[in-house]
Amino acid sequence: MLRLSQNRLIIISSIFLTLFYNYKFFKDLILTYGFITSNIFYFLSVTVVLTLLIIFLLTLFSSKYTTKPILITIFTISAFTAYFMDSYSIVIDSEMIRNSLQTSFKESVDLFSFRLVLYVVFLAIIPSYIVYTTKINYKSLKGEIVSKLKTITLSLVIIFIIIFSFSKFYTSFFREHKPLRYNINPIYWIYSIGNYVHKTLDTAPSEIKDIGLDSKVVEEENEPKELIILVIGETARADRFSLNGYSKETNPLLKQEELVSFTNMSSCGTSTAHSVPCMFSIFPKDDYSYKKGASTKNVLDVLNNTQDVAILWRDNNSDSKGVALRVDYEDFQTPKTNSVCDEECRDEGMLVGLEDYIEKNKGRDILIVLHQMGNHGPAYYKRYPKEFEKFTPVCKTNQLENCTQEEISNAYDNAILYTDYFLSKAINFLKKYSKTHEAGLLYVSDHGESLGENGIYLHGMPYAIAPKAQTHVASLIWLDNGQMSHEYDRSKIKQNKDKEYSHDNLFDTLLGLFEVKTEVYKKELDILNEARKEH
């Protein structure tokens, strides 16, 4: 059994954390500044500063009862953080923490790999076991306080001296290369947890703020009722839709329909947990926060206030992220409710039985929201039935770094091909109602996805530095040839297909589709406003 002073255990642990959990950080640091002789001293200084920062933090919170639990927790979380940063270039910020906490077990299983096991064994279990079995020689209370003050003071003094000595380098590091800091393990994820707690605190007020209480449907008495399907896509990039010019034919069925694909749609965030509540929120992207979204009602509530719109949310993803708390909700992730399941339940199963809901709500406007599993990664090969494996060879592992760019793209594109089939099937379902309803389908993905470009995979990067692949999303609209043709001039919608739109437009576009009059409606944000015919 090891016997160490508390101070020595913290120093050894800090050196270990710096050297073995920061591969991504040091790799990006070297790539940013270049591996030349004159930079070696800078890199060494960063190593010392990072080690001293960790020593400072650990010493600050250390005590007879907290040192071991803190070290074991940090080794464990840092091991997972290192794996996801090294494997997928994922940044663990407050939004990624929120996304992780809202991820279902089924989605988490897709991230399991042998490489993850190695990280956990060597960077979590073994160090934690050593810490657990180490006998710490504690001094008297006074001795521990004096030792702690010495360590904290010395750490801060050396950090200050180093930064002052290499001031030009550190000025560049802090001002011009902020993204480098996102990869510092464990400093950044500790900061992110604090930020997450701050953002999330008191987000469940006893009263949720009402909006649009004056909302009412304004339409002619004998006018057919609206029947709208809103599909919330998952991880679908705009540049992977052949409707938008992609070289592979990923939309063979949708190209046969009279629809408009919006080529310039931006997402509100880079993760489902942020984007989904944001797109239904009254707040624009730049003014949206998790706190605001959770404490204010959304566009579904405004539609509900009219008492004329029946709303159903069916979910084949993790959940509605709080959006559908006050409307009819059905979970379609299990065979109990979803009749189209093989190795996993398929999106098309959400269409089964919708006739019954429509019949039940005869004489009412109807909004049906379908939340897809879509292209949820990294196991893209699981996201489609095998008959949709048109593009080969395919990456058949969740360890994307072990696949070629072509294999990853093919698996991802096959999942887009299945979305094409699903959307086409939804459109054909709606066509049956073209004589009795004003039918339409609106599709918008929650965020995009990085597929290995510049070594980045998946999504969830901080929006400010996220590549366009994670924010430029697929979106389209189909309006039927029957009753809807009296409402909208399709040619005008088509004229605006390349216009810059974002998730900010969804709130008002939905209100416009249902002809809702309310003080919270802004016609300038309604994508269809210019195409609406005067009655």
Cβ atoms 313, 329 nearer than 8 A: yes
Q: Say which amino acid occupies 106.
A: K
Contact 284, 271 (CB under 8 A): no
At residue 478, the pLDDT reads 98
Cα(456)–Cα(454) distance, integer angstroms = 6
Task: Specify the amino acid at residue 246.
Answer: Y
Name the 3-class secondary structure at 313: strand
pLDDT of res. 222: 84
CA dist., res. 194 & res. 359, Å (int): 49
Question: Do the beta carbons of residue 311 and residue 325 sit within 8 Å?
Answer: no
| Spatial separation of the C-alpha atoms in residues 338 and 192, rounded to whole Å | 37
Distance CA 484, CA 486 (A): 5
Tell me, what's the pLDDT at 534? 73
Tell the residue number behind the tokens 């919270």, with chain if given: 520
Residue ranges in the chain whose pLDDT is less than 70: 105, 201-206, 535
CA–CA distance, 102 with 382 (Å, rounded to integer): 21
Per-residue pLDDT at 101 = 78
What is the H or E stretch that residue 501 is in?
strand 501-502
Dihedral, CA atoms, 267, 269, 270, 273, nearest 10 degrees? -120
Residues in the chain: 535
Q: For residues 328 and 114, what is the distance between their CA atoms, to the nearest angstrom?
A: 41
Q: 314 and 324 in contact (C-beta within 8 Å)?
A: no
- By the 10 Å C-beta count (0-12 exposed, 13-18 middle, 19+ buried), 60 is classed as exposed
At 259, is the secondary structure helix, strand, or coil?
strand
Q: How does 305-317 read in b/e, with b if 16+ C-beta sit within 10 Å?
A: bbebbbbbbbbbb
Beta strands in 309-431 (DSSP E): 309-315, 328-331, 365-371
Q: What is the pLDDT of residues 13-62, one digit of tens each?
A: 999 999 999 999 999 999 999 988 889 999 999 999 999 999 999 999 99
CA distance 104 to 96: 14
Q: Write out the E strands in 225-283.
A: 225-233, 259-261, 265-266
Give the CA radius of gyration of the chain.
27
Q: Give the pLDDT confidence score for residue 91 in this predicted structure.
A: 87
Question: Which amino acid, residue 372?
Answer: Q
Tell me the C-alpha distance between 486 and 107, whole Å.
43
Q: How far are the Cα atoms of 477, 480, 518 from residue 437, in angstroms, in the given order?
A: 16, 9, 23
Residue recorded with tokens 């904290």: 152
Burial of residue 110, with CB atoms counted within 10 A of its CB: 0-12 exposed, 13-18 middle, 19 or more buried: middle
- Per-position DSSP letters for 37-100, written without gaps between them: HHHHHHHHHHHHHHHHHHHHHHHHT--TTTHHHHHHHHHHHHHHHHHHHHHH-----HHHHHHH
With beta carbons less than 8 A apart as the criterion, state whether 190 and 81 touch. no
What is the predicted pLDDT for the residue at 204?
54
Contacts of 461 (CB under 8 A, 6+ apart): 90, 91, 270, 450, 467, 470
Pairing of strands 265-266, 472-473: antiparallel
CB atoms within 10 A of CB 216: 13
Q: Which residues contact 434 (CB under 8 A, 6 or more apart)?
A: 480, 481, 482, 483, 484
Tokens 């000025």 belong to: 171
d(CA 467, CA 265): 14
DSSP classification of residue 504: G
Residue 120: predicted pLDDT: 96
Q: 154 near 22, Cβ under 8 Å? A: no
**DSSP-derived secondary structure letter, 496:** T
